[in-house]
Amino acid sequence: MNNQNLKRINTPIFPFTAIVGQEEMKLALELNVIDPKIGGVMIMGDRGTGKSTTIRAIADLLPEIEVIKDDPFNRHPTENINTTEKFETEYIKIPMVDLPLGATEDRVCGTIDIEKALTEGIKAFEPGLLAKANRGILYVDEVNLLDDHLVDILLDSAASGWNTVEREGISIRHPAQFVLVGSGNPEEGELRPQLLDRFGMHAEIRTVKDPNLRVKIVEERTLFDLDPYVWVDKYKDQQDSLKQKIIDAQNILDETEMPYEFRVKISKVCSELDVDGLRGDIVTNRAAKAYTAFQGNKNVLLEDIEKIIVLCLRHRLRKDPLESIDSGYKVKKVFEEIFEIV
């Protein structure tokens, strides 16, 4: 069976707009897709709450991207250094790469075949998961169980947009721009505060308690499993509408502005909460602008900041690794005081 047939018989992915509840997680993912420079999202919550389903669903929702055909790094034709050369291009779905828990550094970063490099005089590079994830989403389930060294590599690449592999004096560098999404269950241990701080946003998800809502979630999933094609068709208009809203937001993001007084107040909130460094200020500014653009506006309003500030700051308050993450009450309280919300 050829690849085309295989692609055709792939089961559809559960539609993003059909996911019930989990608004925090959905919003954080939408904003990171609008502006990947926000720095990714850490999703902490109970098992079986649809974390993986939601992340796959947002990747499936996004518009296809143009890439150089058969390029291992999914590069756009204009990205290639040798611009005089003409390339065949194709459109592909946004890459969604799952990082397995037992992944080694070589599997993540890629490897250089030293023997080939020395005998044949060519750089023989075998791309890793970071190459596959370029211009897409890299999802790490149970990121809190991943080796700290690997988490560091992922965060460095996500922040710089590049991955560098060095072996025996040979160095390869390739683009690795992706939205890093980590998820985990707090019962299995938290990430170290230094690593947690480097995730742009932090979404908390809880098991739905309302019996009616639970029944609705179970029914939706059952109907989808019975006939996924019919189910996907049912949500087509909603999916198309949200996709267009995200594209429109990406297009006006650069024109979105925030009043100086709001920027000062955001920094006051960070200072009052004793947030280390300036990452909290930067991410809150970016996320507020992305949310404003998502609403189809170009001027940040007070309610836009209110909507995202907890997601951007709650995970930056901890000083003691044994202390649990504040649910956002403290951030909300300080925000209301400084922005004088009665």
Question: What pLDDT, on the 0 to 100 scale, is given for residue 123?
Answer: 64
Q: Which residues contact 224 (CB under 8 A, 6 or more apart)?
A: 14, 18, 231
For residue 168, pLDDT beyond 80: no
Question: What pLDDT, on the 0 to 100 scale, is given for residue 83?
Answer: 56
pLDDT tens digits for range 137-156 = 999 988 888 888 888 888 88
Q: Count CB-CB contacts under 10 A for residue 315.
A: 27
pLDDT tens digits for range 42-99 = 998 877 777 888 888 998 888 888 898 888 899 888 876 555 567 788 998 999 999 9
CA-derived radius of gyration, the chain: 21
Question: What pLDDT, on the 0 to 100 scale, is given for residue 7?
Answer: 44
Q: Which of 162-176, 182-196, 328-342 has the lowest mean pLDDT?
A: 182-196
Give phi and psi for 175, each to the nearest 5.
-65, 140
Give phi and psi for 204, each to the nearest 5.
-105, 135
Read off the pLDDT of each residue in 319-329 and give the average, rounded to a whole number.
Answer: 63
Question: What pLDDT, on the 0 to 100 scale, is given for residue 197?
Answer: 83
> Residue 219: helix, strand or coil by DSSP?
helix
Cα–Cα distances in angstroms (integers) from residue 115 to residues 106, 110, 122, 165, 340, in the given order = 16, 15, 10, 16, 66
Question: What pLDDT, on the 0 to 100 scale, is given for residue 6?
Answer: 43
For residue 3, pLDDT beyond 70: no
Q: Count CB-CB contacts under 10 A for residue 169.
A: 7
Mean pLDDT of the chain: 86
Global confidence as pTM? 0.88
pLDDT tens digits for range 235-293 = 999 999 999 999 999 999 999 999 999 999 999 999 999 888 899 999 999 999 999 99
Give phi and psi for 12, each to the nearest 5.
-60, 155
Question: What pLDDT, on the 0 to 100 scale, is given for residue 163?
Answer: 92
Question: What pLDDT, on the 0 to 100 scale, is given for residue 317?
Answer: 84
The tokens for 106 are: 């070589």
What percentage of the chain has pLDDT greater than the value 70? 90
Q: For residue 121, what pLDDT band results from cuts at 50, 70 and 90?
A: low
For residue 327, pLDDT beyond 80: no
CA atoms within 13 A on the CB side of 314: 24
Give phi and psi for 325, each to the nearest 5.
-70, 130
- Select which of 75, 135, 198, 279 is catalytic: 279
279 is catalytic: yes
Domains defined for the chain, CATH in brackets: 3-211 (3.40.50.300), 254-338 (1.10.8.80)
pLDDT tens digits for range 185-210 = 877 777 777 778 889 999 988 888 88
Higher pLDDT, 95 or 321: 95
